[in-house]
Amino acid sequence: MNQFMPISRQDMAERKIEQLDFVYIIGDAYVDHPSFGHAVISRVLEANGFSVGIISQPDWKDDSSISLLGKPRLGFIVTSGNMDSMVNHYTVSKKRRQKDSYTPGGVMGKRPDYAVTVYCNLIRRTYKDTPIIIGGLEASLRRLAHYDYWSNKVKRSVLLDSGADLLLYGMGERSIVETAQALDAGIDIRDITFINGSVYKTKDPDSVYDGLMLPDYKRVVSDKRAYAESFYTQYCNTDPFRGKRLIEPYGEHLFVVQNPPSMPLSQREMDQVYSLPYMRTWHPSYDQAGGVPAIQEVKFSLVSSRGCFGGCSFCALTFHQGRIIQTRSHESILREAEQITWDPDFKGYIHDVGGPTANFRFPSCEKQLEHGVCPAKQCLFPKPCKNLRVDHKDYLKLLRSLRELPRVKKVFVRSGIRFDYLMYDKDRTFLRELCEYHVSGQLKVAPEHISDSVLEKMGKPTVSVYNRFVSAYKDMNEKLGKKQYLVPYLMSSHPGSTLKEAVELAEYLRDLGYMPEQVQDFYPTPSTISTCMYYTGLDPRTMEPVYVAVNPHEKAMQRALIQYRNPKNYDLVYEALHKTGRTDLIGYDKKCLIRPRRQDRGKYGQVPEKIREGNSRDKSQHRKKKTIRNVHKKKKSQ
- What's residue 415's pLDDT? 81
Q: Pick from 141, 168, 133: which is nearest to 87 by CA?
A: 141
Query: How much is the average pLDDT of 576-586?
Result: 96
User: pLDDT band for position 125 (50/70/90)?
Assistant: very high
Query: How much is the average pLDDT of 100-117?
Result: 97
Query: How much is the average pLDDT of 341-348?
Result: 96
Query: How much is the average pLDDT of 196-207?
Result: 96
Q: Pick from 109, 27, 25: which is nearest to 68 by CA?
A: 25
Radius of gyration over alpha carbons of the chain, in Å?
Answer: 28
What's the full length of the chain, in residues? 638
User: pLDDT band for position 516 (50/70/90)?
Assistant: confident
* CA angle, 481 then 482 then 484, to 5°: 155
Whole-number Å distance between alpha carbons of 364 and 370: 13
* CA angle, 381 then 425 then 364, to 5°: 50
Judge whether residue 607 has pLDDT over 70: no
Q: Which of 24-33, 369-378, 427-436 has the lowest mean pLDDT?
A: 369-378
Query: How much is the average pLDDT of 546-574?
Result: 96
3-state secondary structure at position 86: helix
Query: How much is the average pLDDT of 505-523?
Result: 91
* CA angle, 81 then 82 then 85, to 5°: 60
From the number of C-beta atoms within 10 Å of its C-beta (0-12, 13-18, 19+), residue 90 rates as middle
Give 444's strand partners: 487
Please indicate whether residue 531 or residue 414 has the higher confidence score (pLDDT): 531
3-state secondary structure at position 524: coil
Measured CA to CA in angstroms, residue 87 lies from 73, 277, 456 at distances of 33, 31, 26
Contact 608, 616 (CB under 8 A): no
Contact 410, 437 (CB under 8 A): yes
CB burial string 421-459: b at 16+ within 10 A, e below: bbbeeeebebbebbbeebbeeebebbbbbbbeebbbbbb
For each of the domains in the chain, give its residue range(s) and CATH number, in order of start: 9-198 (3.40.50.2300), 300-437 (3.30.750.210), 441-607 (3.30.750.200)
Contact 76, 139 (CB under 8 A): no
User: pLDDT band for position 367 (50/70/90)?
Assistant: confident
Judge whether residue 622 has pLDDT over 90: no
Helix residue ranges, H only, 438-515? 452-458, 463-480, 499-512
pLDDT in tens, 262-309: 999 999 999 999 999 999 999 999 999 999 999 998 999 999 999 999
Q: Pick from 560, 547, 554: which is nearest to 579 by CA?
A: 554
Q: Pick from 201, 102, 214, 107: which is nearest to 154 by CA?
A: 214
- What's residue 506's pLDDT? 97
Query: How much is the average pLDDT of 573-597?
Result: 94
* CA angle, 316 then 318 then 322, to 5°: 135
Dihedral pair phi/psi, residue 152, rounded to 5°: 55, 45
Contact 323, 363 (CB under 8 A): no
User: pLDDT band for position 619 (50/70/90)?
Assistant: low
- What's residue 621's pLDDT? 59
CB burial string 534-563: b at 16+ within 10 A, e below: bbbbbbbbeeeebebbeeeebbbbbbbbbb
Average pLDDT, whole number, for the chain? 94
Q: Indicate the DSSP class of residue 267.
A: H
Give 79's strand partners: 26
The pTM of this model reads 0.92
Whole-number Å distance between alpha carbons of 38 and 54: 9
From the number of C-beta atoms within 10 Å of its C-beta (0-12, 13-18, 19+), residue 268 rates as exposed
Q: Pick from 198, 236, 197, 620: which is nearest to 189 by CA?
A: 198
Contact 132, 163 (CB under 8 A): yes
pLDDT in tens, 53-91: 999 999 999 999 999 999 999 999 999 999 999 999 999
Judge whether residue 637 has pLDDT over 90: no
Query: Is 385 a known ligand-binding residue?
Result: no
Handedness of CA 510, 511, 513, 514 (dihedral sign): negative
Q: How many CB atoms are closer than 10 A to CB 55? A: 21
Whole-number Å distance between alpha carbons of 296 and 512: 33
Measured CA to CA in angstroms, residue 488 lies from 146, 455, 473, 503 at distances of 31, 14, 13, 17
Alpha carbons within 13 angstroms on the beta-carbon side of residue 475 total 8
- What's residue 23's pLDDT? 98
From the number of C-beta atoms within 10 Å of its C-beta (0-12, 13-18, 19+), residue 623 rates as exposed
Query: Is 308 a known ligand-binding residue?
Result: yes
Contact 423, 469 (CB under 8 A): yes
Q: Which of 131-135, 378-382, 464-468 has the lowest mean pLDDT?
A: 378-382
Judge whether residue 402 has pLDDT over 60: yes
